[in-house]
A and B are shown apart, each in its own frame.
Chain A
């Protein structure tokens, strides 16, 4: 049996709600099938015996296999942690003690991983991630922190995390199948963070031929060139492992906001910032400016005509370019 504890810091609860959306298996079936005991969860537990549980873990009366932390670590004001008081103490005091007792620690969501929205400028709550602050390794627990099994904090970034990413990671841990080589430079499982959001996006043909949609509200056209889609340089599996079994942001015409990356939220959403020659400031992952320019010219010239018109409905489609 594995003991699992779920705590929330500066959180919106979105990761919790996201995990409740898990379907095959659902959260409770998963816990039951794999013999995991949920020691406590702020929204789900019947009893309010969390102080007891925390003290038992700290005094080694209770073994903690996996700690899941959702939300930012709130250090403010002035490093006191008083903006987030939990069970009578600043959450950071609990966290400091509990972290040394857990075999594995998982940061769910971009807040716990990198600081997310609360840690963005001017960071009024002095928020940080468990082991990263934005792109810098360190965060609350420090660069050299290892949980009892020798792992760094495993980051499952995303705002929120996809339930399948979390349950699969839990299963890998429970079955002892996760190794440190499986994690990327931000300590995220490569399994879910090696592709970009573009993988599986139905707009990919438009991206290939550099065909843009100039306004929201349409199926056709790629959202990268004008509308600020971060899909080409955001590592996620959102278009491969669909959300709520149905869809993804780019599939419904919402630009990718880059929510799995350390710099989320990078602001100025819904528009593409360009340099003076009209080239997007942020280029697709791994593509140089020179090859982007050359490739774009060729691609644009080779664009198939049917992609320049609405696919299903009649009309000119003057939003396609």
Chain B
């Protein structure tokens, strides 16, 4: 038996260590461990509610706009705010521009560079992978470095700066763009579409790609446009066994995303990407009710007033950290997220693949129906999502009504509560705020990486990541690249890198 502690597991966002136990070249147990505690929820207590608009984006350097959007939605609900359609559109543009930036940087800077791993050296297409995807020098890597930042320019036109703007506020956005701003943002987007998305990523025209709705269509695309990275990832990925790698939870969950501008109602909007849960065994679609969300701490460095067995809904959530202690059974700063489904507690998978599948994208649904969830489809999902984002941002900007406002001042409410739930780049994100006498009484945040990579609950149910690693075959225990693929395919973010560690605390066997 081999016990590997991989620390830090780099190239994921946030500090993640991973302990995997390998027997006969198979992973038999996996413990994702978040080693970093920053205490943001504690700092928010007793502060002025609007302060959360400044603090929460700083939870994460790569998805701050998603946190900002969640906060703004939670305050919309708490203050009963009306948000003019223009305000919703600009929020959507900003959130999606950030998401596009993330999907490109994840794919090229964090994930694909693992294809230069020595495991693949003897494959006939190894040279092509190195020429495209090798860090710093690969042709596509360089394009990704160059173009990913252009999305942040679109963000900054409306959000002031990226990362860490605070332009989304209850009632809309702080900005009142002129028409030249709209034109410039569209210009930048078109530039990225033509010079990067179509040339490097898709290999063919965007509008045509968006018509694909099945596996057959995707295969045909790869025949027609064999030189795009999409086709290469798809074909090489299949050959490298990624369709069979890292399956995991039976459930895909999405909090839903992109409210329709005219139909925005905090907590109850009509969405472009529907929310819900899909059971991969029988394709039953389950409605999502935020009341069924629970967090457990029996394996986490936290304590609850009422003991270890209970789960708390975020509105009643507690953040009481305990010092890490090697001799306790607790091992992570991540709470265990569970969704109460009838009498059972499920640990779903979240991420681009869930957002698109639950959201009803027909290409994604067809792929997942055939292959379930796995490393390759998670990567393909991000590319499909990127293409969709290009279209949605353009539509939102085209529909922007320059003669109408983007903000309506709400009245602040002294004792109230609200939540904001959406899809961040890495998956479902929720913020819950309780306000008493004009101050934040409780602020609880559920992040996608927490949902995917939490520990087991008191009843022994494993999280999605642990499940997806179970049974993973590791060719060479000294080079557990398969494990890295599984973790990185989730675009992990413990803010902001996942660490495989060698340790003073635990016996280290292998470093990745």
Contacts and interface: CB of A to CB of B under 8 A. Distances in A.
Interface in A71-114: 74, 77-78, 80, 82-89
A217 B175 contact: yes
Nearest to A83: B37
B81 to A, nearest CB: 12
A200 interface: no
Interface string A163-190: 0000000000000000000000000000
Q: Which of A49, A50, A87, A116 has the most CB of B within 10 A?
A: A87
Interface string B1-27: 000011111110111010000000000
Contacts of B169: 216, 270
A13 B11 contact: no
B54 A257 contact: yes
Contacts of B35: 84-86
Interface in A1-28: 8, 10-18, 20-23, 26-28
B148 A20 contact: yes
Chain A interface category by residue count: 35 or more
From DSSP, what is the main secondary structure of chain A's interface residues? loop
A251 B165 CA distance: 12
A252 B321 CA distance: 38
Interface residues of B, number: 91
A252 B174 contact: yes
A48 B503 contact: no
Contact of B176 (A116, A160, A217): A217
Interface string A233-247: 000001000111111
B192 to A, nearest CB: 14
B37 A48 contact: no
Nearest to B62: A17
A106 B9 CA distance: 24
Given A84-B15, A160-B61, A216-B407, A269 B50 contact: yes
B174 A217 contact: yes
A83 B40 CA distance: 13
A46 to B, nearest CB: 5
Given A17-B61, A160-B163, A268-B48, A45 B11 contact: yes
Contact of B321 (A120, A124, A242): A124
Interface in B64-113: 64, 105, 109-110, 113
A249 interface: yes
Interface string A264-288: 0101111100000000000000000
A312 interface: yes
A283 B209 CA distance: 56
B323 A82 contact: yes
A294 B456 CA distance: 65
Contacts of A12: 58-61, 64, 495-496
A226 B114 CA distance: 51
Contact of A46 (B55, B113, B159): B113
B54 A269 contact: yes
B512 A28 contact: no
Contacts of B114: 46
Given A14-B58, A87-B501, A44 B109 contact: yes
Contact of B155 (A89, A120, A244): A244
A44 B135 contact: yes
A283 B358 CA distance: 52
A160 B156 CA distance: 14
Interface in B135-187: 135-136, 142, 145-146, 148-149, 152-153, 155-167, 169, 171-176, 178
Contacts of A88: 5, 7, 501-505, 508
Given A46-B116, A265-B54, A26 B323 contact: no
B15 A86 contact: yes
Interface in A250-265: 250-254, 257, 259, 265
B217 to A, nearest CB: 34
A17 B160 CA distance: 16
Contacts of B160: 243, 247-252, 254
A8 B40 contact: no
B497 interface: yes
Contact of A48 (B6, B167, B405): B6
A87 B164 contact: no
B191 interface: no
A120 B40 CA distance: 10
Contact of A122 (B42, B155, B323): B42
A125 B167 contact: no
B324 interface: yes
B43 interface: yes
B162 A21 contact: yes
B127 interface: no
Contact of A26 (B145, B152, B496, B502): B145
Contact of A86 (B8, B39, B495, B511): B8
Contact of B173 (A83, A122, A217, A245): A217
A219 to B, nearest CB: 5
A252 B153 CA distance: 13
A216 B48 contact: no
Contact of B500 (A48, A82, A244, A249): A48
Contacts of A243: 156, 160-162
B53 interface: yes
A283 B113 CA distance: 51
Contacts of A28: 136, 142, 145
Contacts of A77: 321, 323
Contacts of A216: 169, 171, 174, 407, 409
Contact of B167 (A26, A252, A265, A313): A252
B47 interface: yes
B390 interface: no
B370 interface: no
Nearest to B512: A48
Nearest to B496: A13
B504 A117 contact: no
B149 A23 contact: yes
Contact of A124 (B39, B54, B153, B406): B39
A11 B495 contact: yes
Contacts of B135: 44, 46
A31 B40 CA distance: 34
Contacts of B110: 43
Nearest to B493: A13
A248 B58 CA distance: 17
A246 B154 CA distance: 8
B36 interface: yes
A265 B51 contact: yes
B496 A11 contact: yes
B490 interface: no
11 contacts: A8-B497, A13-B13, A14-B163, A21-B152, A85-B35, A88-B501, A118-B38, A249-B165, A267-B51, A268-B51, A269-B48
Given A86-B499, A122-B42, 12 more contacts: A11-B496, A18-B61, A44-B11, A83-B321, A85-B15, A117-B43, A118-B38, A217-B173, A247-B157, A249-B166, A267-B47, A270-B50
Closest 3 CB pairs of A and B: A217-B407, A13-B496, A14-B61
